[in-house]
Amino acid sequence: MKRTPVLLALLATFSPLFSPAASPPPPYSPALPVSTDSAMAFDAYLADPGTFQGRKSGYPGGDAAQRWIARQMTRWGLEPLIGGDPLIPFPMLVTEEKKGRLRLTGSPWGAVDYLLGDDFTLCTNSGSGKVKAKVTLVGYGMSKPEKSWDDYAGVDVRGKIVVIFRGKPDNGEDWREEYSRSYTFPTAVEHGAAAVLYYEPGFPVNGASIVAAAYRPDIPAGYIGDRVLRHLMIGSNLTPDGYKRLLKKGPHPLELDRVLRFEAKVNRVPGAVGYNVAAVVPGTDPDLRHEAVLLGAHGDHLGPNSLGFVYAGADDNGSGASTILELARTFANHPQPRTLVFCVFGGEEQGLLGSRALAAVLPARYDYVAMINLDMVGRGEGKTGLGGGEMLPEVWNSWYEALPDSVRELVEVRRAWGGSSSDHASFRDVGIPAFTGYSRGKHDFYHTFMDLPATIEPAAIGGALRVASLWAQAIAHYPEPLADRRLAARTLWYRGTPVDWWESSGAVSGDLGEVRRKLEEGCPGNVILLRAPTGERGADTFLTALDRLVAALDADRWMQ
């Protein structure tokens, strides 16, 4: 492995270093009169299987749901963010599932026909075709000899059906890019696979998407569950768990003596578009209203499959969209010093398409100082996870400490989310501090047709409403400007390793072993130093902490 010099970044996050005393923190603001019943009613309507048919972007039901949301925001007096309409179209790949069949031939019991939606699913944007072929397990589906891993080495998969285990090698390399289907699907096709099946333990995922850049209209793709994989591995002298143990030691492509017939018919919808909704409650403070806080959630879900089962998406993400609707209704009657922008995105289930489209065209008349994203806030007992406070510490710390115990116990504090698992990423990636809210609890019906309004728990939506409204108020009321030249840089801090220090002595504590590991492997070693100094003595011990940290990491070796 080639080692490259990297820069060790030492960042103080909780206040500008050696700055004068910060402005007084905003007082705690009691919750606005948000209504859990109102949000529950919105969700029941949006997630009714017969009304919007699962709200899939590009389908009539999904388009109708977004139009209805836009009408509500207009009725409440919100202004369009762009142009004269809150409804904003964006182009996207849309396909319609018409048929999916999977049959195992030559099993000990004869032919076995598997059930679509239970034993297997089709990927969103699967290609069409009929394939009868032997099956080869290709580990994680990664071919990167330069990272000492090739799941296709020594095996010929031309004309075969490959099965890819969802996961990543544990060999010290960074596999975030290769983990996605955007990499593994075209890699399988490049090696000659006639069809691609993914395996993830438990229930086969419905709605896993092949993005437009990887789309192949002639290559079927889907997911299989435990039952199908066990049948495929009969005679291999391995179980699925046994095969996964082999992958811990290295690549292990395995040709199976089983034949599958896989048929998919998925039609592309020509000229399709999705829709975002974005509307504004203007700020009231002439010195702050040019700064805007975005509050958003995706409104789309998976729609019907070819058997007519509707995936209604009450939790994912009717709950988030309904919470945003209730927040928009409430804040329209209680405008804040800063401008608030309420968004319901389309196309999230197919790769954050709507939020990325909106992030690229945000009007320059505002400085966007924060984004609060809500995803799956409909299950649990009322505790809401909120990640990202380290990006706006001057607001977060005083707000969180001022919360009454009865409210603070509803907040589960998390660091900012990395990756691209939800729409926060689209705004983080353009330099806007992004916060992710979700309800703590078991989301048992994720991507199943049982994700219905009857499964939504009022305590969960109520908790999310209260936490999101309070945090939005805290940002909106902060008395000093938040838009500065360092704002975008804060979005990088989620990559760092937090290290604390003691103002009395300058001692440091944290996972220094993790930082050293990153340095040894040639990865950037960002360190976030929590708590900047508060006085002259603190400034001296802060410098002591920096010296100790550099010495502990032997950081001089890595400085550019």
For the segment 328-362, what is each residue's pLDDT rounded down to a tens digit?
999 999 999 999 999 999 999 999 999 999 999 99
361 and 224 co-located in one domain? no
Residue 27 domain-assigned (yes or no): no
Residue 28 domain-assigned (yes or no): no
Of 218, 233, 268, the last residue of a domain is 268
pTM: 0.85
CATH number of the domain that 305 lies in?
3.40.630.10
> For residues 169 and 202, what is the distance between their CA atoms, to the nearest angstrom?
20
> How much is the average pLDDT of 276-291?
98
Residue 285 domain-assigned (yes or no): yes
CB 275 within 8 A of CB 89: yes
Which range is most confident: 320-329, 416-425, 535-544?
Answer: 320-329
387 and 436 co-located in one domain? yes
Q: What per-residue confidence (pLDDT) applies to 232?
A: 98
Q: What angle in degrees, to the nearest 10, is found between the helix axes of 60-75 and 320-332?
A: 20
CA distances from 402 to 26, 28, 283, 409, 414 (A): 9, 6, 24, 12, 18
User: Residue 2 CB: number of other CB atoms within 10 A?
Assistant: 5
Residue 351 domain-assigned (yes or no): yes
What DSSP string runs through 223-264?
EE-HHHHHHHTTTTT--HHHHHHHHTTS---EEEEEEEEEEE
For the segment 91-124, what is each residue's pLDDT rounded down to a tens digit?
999 999 999 999 999 888 899 999 999 999 999 9
Please calculate the CA angle 111-129-240 and round it to the nearest 5 degrees.
Answer: 50
Residue 31 domain-assigned (yes or no): no
CA distances from 307 to 114, 121, 225, 262, 266 (A): 13, 11, 18, 16, 13
Residue 148 domain-assigned (yes or no): yes
Q: What per-residue confidence (pLDDT) applies to 9?
A: 47
Percentages helix, strand, coil for the chain (3-state, rounded to 5) are 30, 25, 45
CB 457 within 8 A of CB 379: yes
Please calculate the CA angle 41-44-45 and round it to the nearest 5 degrees.
Answer: 90
For the segment 162-215, what is each residue's pLDDT rounded down to a tens digit?
999 999 999 989 898 999 999 999 999 999 999 999 999 988 989 999 999 999
Residue 387 pLDDT grade (very low, low, confident, very high; cuts 50, 70, 90) = confident
> How much is the average pLDDT of 24-47?
84
Residue 20 pLDDT greater than 60, yes or no: no
Query: 161 in helix, strand or coil?
Result: strand
360 and 470 co-located in one domain? yes
CB 322 within 8 A of CB 439: no
Q: What percent of the chain stands above pLDDT 70?
A: 84
> For residues 556 and 560, what is the distance between their CA atoms, to the nearest angstrom?
9
Omega of the bond leading into 317 within 30 degrees of 0 (cis): yes
Q: Structural domain of residue 130, as residue ranges?
A: 95-268
Residue 29 domain-assigned (yes or no): no
CA distances from 75 to 67, 72, 294, 322, 329 (A): 12, 5, 20, 16, 9
Q: What per-residue confidence (pLDDT) applies to 388?
A: 85
Query: 37 in helix, strand or coil?
Result: helix
For the segment 491-543, what is each residue's pLDDT rounded down to a tens digit?
765 556 666 667 667 777 666 676 666 666 555 445 555 556 666 767 777 77
Q: What percent of the chain stands above pLDDT 90?
A: 72
73 and 191 co-located in one domain? no
* Residues shown for the chain: 560
Q: What per-residue confidence (pLDDT) applies to 17?
A: 31
Q: Mean pLDDT over all residues of the chain?
A: 89
Q: What per-residue confidence (pLDDT) applies to 124?
A: 98
60 and 165 co-located in one domain? no
* DSSP secondary structure letter of residue 319: I
Is 32 exposed, middle or buried, given 0-12, 13-18 or 19+ CB atoms closer than 10 A?
middle
Q: Total domain count for the chain?
A: 3
Of 451, 477, 503, the last residue of a domain is 477
For the segment 452-487, what is each residue's pLDDT rounded down to a tens digit?
999 999 999 999 999 999 999 999 999 999 998 667
85 and 100 co-located in one domain? no
46 and 78 co-located in one domain? yes
> For residues 338 and 47, what is the distance between their CA atoms, to the nearest angstrom?
32
CATH number of the domain that 201 lies in?
3.50.30.30
> For residues 227 and 160, what is the distance between their CA atoms, to the nearest angstrom?
20
Residue 1 pLDDT greater than 50, yes or no: no
342 and 471 co-located in one domain? yes
Backbone angles phi, psi at 526, to 5 degrees: -75, 130
113 and 192 co-located in one domain? yes
Of 268, 289, 314, the last residue of a domain is 268
Residue 170 domain-assigned (yes or no): yes
467 and 409 co-located in one domain? yes
360 and 291 co-located in one domain? yes
191 and 106 co-located in one domain? yes
> How much is the average pLDDT of 283-287?
98
* CB hemisphere CA count around 364 (13 angstroms): 0
